[in-house]
């Protein structure tokens, strides 16, 4: 099937004459954290390279084209390896990542485009990737071999570097930071608080859950549903707050797990799940309406940090623990904490929320500067490639 008949395919603008940069990762799946990463990557690339042509390899090309207004969107998971080749051959640089895509279940799927780029002489840069869990020897080997001879490797936290080194990667690995740290807030729809049934409520606390899955194989719903329900009840009573569950992945499962937590609450009438569909920037804007946040999802916590909202994280994965380490914030281990210990931690954090806000104000700008380093490395790679392939002028 020709490219212009692919769902969501966006033709190249004839006016585009700048560098062609591909971005491949977990995009088009309507996960607001992943979309925040992509939105920030695109904004930074366009700021540094105004004439850049951006090609996104997406699971949902139509969504990516509509949401991000990119020059080209390729339905990569619907295409064979041979069909992907011409789209990669035309690139000047392929950016792999932004987000945690190197884990046992799916790493080899995502790495296909990296292998194609290497075979066809297109430089590849790992762009602030996350990594882990990566326990399978076979997958570790695939990752190690795929990363041989890539142009640059950047990861978003120290834990990701450790995972890659454990897999046998011997290349220089630069720790930068999550691209979503550069996201800008967007205006919310008119009357959104009234529509969501939140108008007039005196104090709101935001919460996020996540479903178990291939990226979080050790997560036990039977444990964390009860844990979060107890925590939510405690905050309703202790802080006189209403609880707002914010789905970061607008799928049946994400919403279902939020409702499952509410079903185990004693004060269920004081909690609700956000119903509308919002952009990443709108959820970032919504954060300022919360007095406090408790969350499992990394980007929910990143959004809170960007808006200076004190939070308690439940670190189900190394990427969350790594973010807290960067911010120099404490966290209870999800698999060890009891309801009593969690409530004590919430109580202490609530009392210390002014100090937490000050710590966020101090730590976030440094992380944002680290995040900006990633795009600078990408631009330097492009400039180096352009010089290497420049045709000498005739005498």
What's the whole-number average pLDDT of the chain?
91
For position 330, what pLDDT does the model report? 81
pLDDT digits (tens, 9 = 90+) for 291-313: 999 998 999 999 999 999 999 99
Question: pLDDT grade, residue 218 (50/70/90)?
Answer: low
Domain-wise residue ranges, the chain: 3-183+368-388, 192-309+311-351
The 10s digit of each residue's pLDDT in 114-138 is 999 999 999 999 999 999 999 999 9
β-strand pairing of 311-313 with 72-75: unpaired
Q: What is the reported pLDDT for 216?
A: 62
For residue 67 the two structure tokens come to: 């949401």
Residue 336: what pLDDT?
64
Domain at 3-183+368-388, CATH from 3.40.50.11720, 3.90.45.10, 3.40.30.10, 3.10.450.350: 3.40.50.11720
Query: Between 394 and 277, whose confidence is greater?
Result: 277
Return the closest-CA partner of residue 23 out of 102, 121, 92, 78: 92
Q: Is the pLDDT of residue 13 over 50?
A: no
pLDDT at 214: 58
Q: Please report the pLDDT score of residue 259 as a whole number.
A: 96
HEC readout, the chain: CCHHHCCCCCCCCCCCCCCEEEEECCCCCCEHHHHHHHHHHHHHHHHHCCCCEEEEEECCHHHHHHHHCCCEEEEHHHCCHHHHHHHHHCCCEEEEEEEEEECCCCHHHHHHHHHHHHHCCCCEEEEEEEECCCCCHHHHHHHHHHHCCCCEEEECCHHHHHHHHHCCCCCCCEECCCHHHHCCCCCCCCCHHHHCCCCCCCCEEEEECCCCECCECCCCHHHHHHHHHHHHHHHHHHHCCEEEECCCECCHHHHHHHHHHHHCCCCHHHEEECCCCCCHHHHHHHHHHCCEEEECCHHHHHHHHHCCCCEEECCCCHHHHHHHHHHCCCCCCCCCCCHHHHHHHHHHHHHCHHHHHHHHHHHHHHHHHHHHHHHHHHHHHHHHHHHHCCCCCCC
Indicate whether 64 pLDDT > 80: yes
Residue 326 · residue 157 · CB < 8 Å: yes
Answer yes or no: is pLDDT of 394 > 60: no
Q: Which residue has the higher pLDDT, 144 or 393?
A: 144
| CB-CB contact of 299 with 180 (8 Å) | yes
Mean pLDDT of 370-376: 98
Burial class (CB in 10 A: 0-12, 13-18, 19+), 116: buried
pLDDT, tens digit, 9 for 90 and up, residues 330-372: 877 666 678 888 899 999 999 999 999 999 999 999 999 999 9
Q: How far apart are CA 299 and CA 320, in angstroms?
A: 9
How much is the pLDDT for 213? 63
Residue 12 confidence (pLDDT) above 60: no
Residue 162 scores a pLDDT above 50? yes
**Confidence (pLDDT) at 331:** 77
pLDDT at 5 over 60: no
Give yes or no on whether 3-183+368-388 and 192-309+311-351 have one common fold: yes
Contact status, residue 290 vs residue 304, Cβ threshold 8 Å: yes
pLDDT-derived band of residue 384, with 50, 70 and 90 as boundaries?
A: very high
CB 311 within 8 A of CB 305: yes
pLDDT for res 14: 44
Is the model's pLDDT at 391 over the cut of 70? Answer: no
CATH topology of domain 192-309+311-351: Rossmann fold (3.40.50)
Please check the confidence at residue 227 and state whether its pLDDT lies above 70: yes
Average pLDDT over residues 32-36: 96
7 pLDDT exceeds 60? no
- Which has the minimum average pLDDT: 72-76, 280-284, 313-317, 357-361? 313-317
Q: What is the pLDDT of residues 179-212, one digit of tens each?
A: 999 999 999 999 999 999 999 888 999 999 987 7
């Amino acid at each position: 099937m020709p490219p212009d008949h692919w769902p969501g395919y966006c033709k190249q603008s004839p006016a585009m004459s700048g560098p062609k940069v591909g971005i491949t990762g977990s995009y088009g799946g309507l996960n607001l954290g992943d979309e925040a990463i992509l939105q920030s990557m695109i904004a930074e690339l366009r700021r540094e390279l105004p004439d850049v042509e951006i090609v996104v390899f997406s699971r949902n090309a139509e969504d990516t084209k509509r949401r991000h207004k990119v020059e080209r969107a390729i339905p990569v998971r619907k295409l064979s390896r041979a069909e992907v080749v011409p789209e990669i051959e035309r690139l000047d640089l392929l950016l792999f990542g932004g987000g945690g895509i190197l884990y046992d279940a799916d790493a080899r799927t995502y790495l296909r485009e990296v292998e194609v780029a290497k075979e066809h002489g297109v430089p590849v840069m790992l762009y602030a990737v996350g990594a882990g869990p990566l326990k399978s020897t076979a997958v570790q080997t695939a990752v190690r071999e795929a990363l041989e001879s890539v142009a640059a490797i950047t990861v978003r936290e120290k834990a990701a570097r450790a995972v890659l080194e454990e897999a046998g990667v011997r290349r220089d690995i630069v720790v930068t930071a999550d691209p979503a740290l550069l996201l800008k807030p967007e205006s919310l729809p008119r009357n959104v608080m009234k529509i969501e049934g939140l108008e007039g409520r005196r104090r709101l606390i935001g919460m996020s859950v996540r479903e178990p899955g291939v990226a979080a194989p050790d997560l036990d719903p039977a444990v964390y549903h009860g844990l979060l329900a107890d925590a939510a009840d405690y905050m309703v009573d202790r802080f006189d707050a209403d609880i707002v569950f914010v789905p970061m992945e607008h799928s049946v499962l994400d919403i279902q797990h939020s409702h499952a937590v509410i079903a185990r609450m004693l004060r269920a009438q004081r909690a609700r799940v956000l119903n509308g569909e919002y952009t990443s920037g709108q959820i970032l804007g919504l954060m300022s309406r919360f007095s406090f946040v408790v969350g499992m999802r990394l980007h929910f916590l990143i959004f809170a940090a960007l808006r200076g909202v004190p939070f308690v994280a439940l670190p189900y994965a190394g990427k969350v623990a790594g973010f807290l380490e960067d911010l120099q914030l404490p966290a209870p281990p999800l698999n060890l904490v009891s309801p009593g210990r969690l409530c004590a931690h919430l109580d202490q954090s609530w009392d210390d929320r002014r100090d937490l806000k000050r710590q966020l104000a101090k730590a976030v700008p440094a992380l944002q500067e680290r995040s900006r380093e990633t795009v600078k490395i990408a631009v330097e790679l492009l400039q180096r490639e352009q010089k290497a392939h420049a045709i000498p002028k005739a005498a």
